[in-house]
């Protein structure tokens, strides 16, 4: 199992699987890593805990007009604290990473690794897999360069419930801050799939199963948030709204992520069971 610690991916499979892992496509420029850690940019180190690698923040380098500044200046209140959009994204990915690091060490005896970037509005981040650069609509995991990228502008659209990919009537719930957390956990789950060889095992198959597996894994992490007493009233309803909005009815197997009901059901399976093994039936090569 230790062989999986070194992530390897062949170029041609990368191109085939890229569409799977992108909610949108894109241009930004900071690269962070979690749990491994190599970073570039302005450092504001978070205190190291229990021998874990520190998490370093990178000052956004983008510039833009009033609309861009408004997106990057959003403040999210959570748990009695306030965060900028970038801070909230980093707070979330750090929590997701710490949860799965504990699971991976106990199960596979190594730590997961992924580069992470949350570019500011107008900022561009280099992305492998033939994409070139991110843009303000980017939310993806690219297996070629082992990178998770979610633009702050995309996260704002998620928070506001503006990302809808199907014609179904909206649910009677609002999207919110935990909608963003769901997307972070979903994209992080793709990096875990890469760790376990699931992306390679499922190359050439319909992408839906990988997407539903990632939804399920996001549910597993969310259960841990609940068990730690950190889930707030309305958070689960926000995910219901977001998985419903993010479902689709595409007949293209390279694009179809699952219907609204399938996506919510996958998330709920992970949440109800609280274990990664409950998600394994979605994909080949699962443990």
Distance CA 269, CA 262 (A): 10
Q: What is the pLDDT, as a whole number, of residue 70? A: 55
Distance CA 133, CA 135 (A): 7
SS3 of the chain: helix, strand, coil, percent, to 5:
45, 10, 45
Q: What is the pLDDT, as a whole number, of residue 175? A: 97
Maximal CA-CA distance, the chain: 50
Q: What is the pLDDT, as a whole number, of residue 229? A: 97
Q: What is the pLDDT, as a whole number, of residue 178? A: 97
Distance CA 39, CA 32 (A): 5
Residues ≥6 apart with Cβ < 8 Å to 217: 185, 186, 189, 192, 270, 276, 279
Please report, in angstroms and rounded to a whole number, the separation of the first and last CA atoms in the chain: 11
Q: What is the pLDDT, as a whole number, of residue 76? A: 83
Q: What is the pLDDT, as a whole number, of residue 14? A: 36
Closest C-alpha among 107, 103, 133, 121 to residue 24:
133
Distance CA 210, CA 216 (A): 10
Encode the chain (287 residues) as per-residue pLDDT tens digits. Answer: 323 333 333 332 333 344 335 444 333 322 333 433 333 322 222 222 333 222 333 333 333 334 444 556 677 888 888 899 999 999 999 999 999 999 999 999 999 999 999 999 999 999 998 889 999 999 999 999 999 999 999 999 999 999 999 999 999 999 999 999 999 999 999 999 999 999 999 888 889 999 999 999 999 999 999 999 999 999 999 999 999 999 999 999 989 999 999 999 999 999 999 999 999 999 865 65
Distance CA 31, CA 42 (A): 11
Give all strands (DSSP E) within the chain, no chain letters.
Answer: 32-34, 75-78, 81-84, 114-117, 126-127, 132-133, 139-142, 147-150
Indicate the pairing of strand 114-117 with strand 147-150: parallel
Distance CA 52, CA 242 (A): 32
């Amino acid at each position: 199992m230790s062989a999986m610690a070194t992530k390897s991916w062949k170029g041609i499979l990368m191109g085939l699987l890229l569409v799977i892992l992108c909610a949108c496509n894109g241009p930004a420029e900071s690269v962070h890593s979690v749990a491994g850690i190599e970073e570039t940019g302005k450092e504001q180190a978070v205190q190291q805990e229990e021998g874990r690698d520190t998490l370093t923040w990178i000052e956004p380098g983008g510039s833009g007009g009033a609309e861009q500044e408004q997106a990057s200046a959003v403040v999210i209140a959570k748990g009695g604290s306030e965060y900028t959009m970038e801070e909230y994204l980093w707070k979330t990915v750090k929590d997701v990473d710490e949860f799965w690091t504990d699971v991976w060490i106990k199960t596979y005896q190594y730590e997961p690794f992924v580069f992470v970037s949350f570019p500011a509005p107008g900022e561009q981040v280099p992305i492998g897999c033939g994409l070139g650069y991110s843009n303000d609509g980017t939310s993806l995991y690219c297996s070629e360069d082992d990178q998770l990228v979610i633009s702050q502008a995309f996260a704002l659209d998620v928070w506001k419930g503006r990302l809808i990919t199907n014609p179904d009537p909206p649910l009677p719930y609002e999207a919110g801050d935990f909608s963003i957390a769901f997307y972070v956990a979903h994209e992080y789950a793709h990096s875990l799939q890469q760790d376990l060889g699931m992306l390679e095992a499922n190359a050439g198959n319909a992408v839906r199963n990988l997407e539903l597996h990632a939804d399920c894994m996001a549910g597993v992490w969310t259960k841990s948030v609940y068990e730690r007493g950190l889930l707030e009233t309305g958070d689960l309803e926000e995910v219901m709204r977001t998985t419903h909005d993010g479902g689709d009815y595409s007949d293209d197997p390279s694009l179809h992520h699952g219907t609204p009901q399938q996506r919510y059901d996958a998330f709920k399976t992970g949440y109800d069971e609280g274990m990664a093994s409950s998600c394994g039936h979605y994909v080949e090569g699962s443990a």
